[in-house]
Amino acid sequence: MKIEILEKQTPPIFHRVKKGETLEVVAGKYNKNKNILRNVNMLEDNYELREGDLLIVNYKASTYVVKPLDTLTKIATKFNTTPEEIKAKNKISDNLFIGQIIII
């Protein structure tokens, strides 16, 4: 008999943007990093929030801070993923910089 254990799913929590709110304001309300919030919601860097926009604000995102001599391949291997997946999640190229926060 095979028994499967399913991880309890947390329903998403959304935030409806109010007039004048910025990504920084919304991130602060939920104690989130604005860059990760931007990536999770697939917003372009220059996108300005509009009243009525709907953002996902509860997410499980493992993050990693890039260290000297890190490469996408090294990071991907460490977290059992691929460089391509990391690039897609973070909308980045092959170039990393020390201190950069990336989503795994």
Q: Which domains does the chain have, with CATH numbers?
A: 14-56 (3.10.350), 63-103 (3.10.350.10)
The whole-model pTM stands at: 0.57
CA distance 40 to 27: 12
- 75 Cβ neighbours under 8 A, 6+ residues apart: 64, 66, 83, 86, 102, 104
Q: According to the model, what pLDDT value does residue 9 have?
A: 54
Q: In this structure, what token pair is assigned to residue 86? A: 């990391």
DSSP H or E segment with residue 63 = strand 63-65
CA 93, 54, 81, 75 dihedral sign is positive
CA distance 47 to 64: 24
Q: Which residues of the chain have pLDDT under 50?
A: none
